[in-house]
């Protein structure tokens, strides 16, 4: 469990570390707590309802997306699930091997692959989602409905901000410079450093 020491204390220490430079405390607290909450919620859901079905968080989210939206192109599923195309390929393969999803070529565009739930997958979600939703209610148990709406709305605005302004912001920060490739992951082959 993260977070034994208080965030406010951390803020004071950070302030001290920087001497006079001002810190945006409230904004820092939002980011820190978003991440803490995400980890805590994910861990709880994985260890309660998902583990028993032998599903990881990601696998569940993918199933959920296909369940809700019906047969969908993989790129849309990846976007909705918040994972990369490459990751989805592997997850879909695993789910297909377990007989929970089907994959089918697109009738007119040969590049596309469509994902849909099998009967077994459908049945799984029918039984699983209500239990999942109950745990969602558990983790938010300290908030009443109105507070839930306020928090969800605030988070929605964070997501929107990044989605709508993020790319421009990053370009601006880099000031035209190349966006430095990820250090891990497959290297460019052409020119060795």
In the complex, which residues of this chain contact DNA (CB under 7 A)?
39, 43, 46-47, 56-59, 73-75, 78, 82-94, 103, 108-113, 181-190
Position of tokens 């091997």?
Answer: 97
Looking at 81, 100, 114, 115, which residue binds a copy of itself (CB under 8 A)?
81
Q: What are phi and psi of 151, to 5 degrees?
A: -65, -45
Nearer to a copy of itself, 106 or 138 (CB): 138
Q: Is 75 in the site for a copy of itself (CB under 8 A)?
A: no
Rounded (10°) angle between helices 74-81 and 85-97? 100
Looking at 49, 91, 115, 124, which residue binds a copy of itself (CB under 8 A)?
49
Of the candidate spans 85-93, 99-107, 108-116, 160-168, the one that interacts with a copy of itself by CB under 8 A turns out to be: 160-168
- State how far the alpha carbon of 164 is from the alpha carbons of 159, 160, 172, 174, in Å: 9, 6, 14, 18
Task: Please name which of 40, 42, 4, 10 lies closest in space to residue 28, comparing C-alpha atoms.
Answer: 10
Of the candidate spans 85-93, 105-113, 180-188, the one that interacts with a copy of itself by CB under 8 A turns out to be: 180-188
Total length of the chain: 193
Q: Least separation, in Å, of the C-beta of 127 and a copy of itself?
A: 10
DSSP reduced 3-state for 110 = coil
Nearer to a copy of itself, 24 or 106 (CB): 24
Looking at 97, 176, 180, 192, which residue binds a copy of itself (CB under 8 A)?
180
Count, residues near a copy of itself per rule CB under 8 A? 89
Residue 132 and residue 55 in contact, taking contact as beta carbons nearer than 8 Å: no
């Amino acid at each position: 469990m993260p977070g034994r020491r208080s965030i406010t204390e951390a803020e004071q220490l950070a302030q001290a570390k920087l001497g006079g430079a001002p810190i945006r405390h409230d904004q820092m607290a939002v980011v820190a707590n978003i991440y803490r909450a995400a980890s805590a919620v994910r861990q709880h859901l994985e260890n309660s309802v998902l583990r028993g079905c032998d599903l990881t968080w990601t696998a569940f989210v993918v199933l959920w997306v296909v369940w809700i939206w019906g047969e969908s192109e993989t790129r849309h599923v990846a976007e909705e699930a918040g994972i990369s195309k490459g990751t989805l390929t592997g997850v879909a393969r695993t789910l297909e091997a377990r007989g929970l999803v089907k994959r089918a070529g697109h009738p007119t565009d040969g590049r596309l692959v469509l994902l849909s739930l099998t009967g077994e997958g459908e049945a799984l979600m029918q039984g699983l989602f209500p239990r999942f939703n109950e745990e969602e209610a558990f983790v938010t148990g300290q908030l009443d409905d109105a507070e839930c709406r306020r928090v969800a709305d605030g988070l929605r605005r964070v997501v929107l901000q990044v989605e709508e302004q993020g790319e421009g912001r990053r370009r601006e920060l880099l000031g035209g410079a190349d966006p430095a490739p990820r250090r891990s992951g497959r290297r460019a082959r052409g020119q060795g450093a």
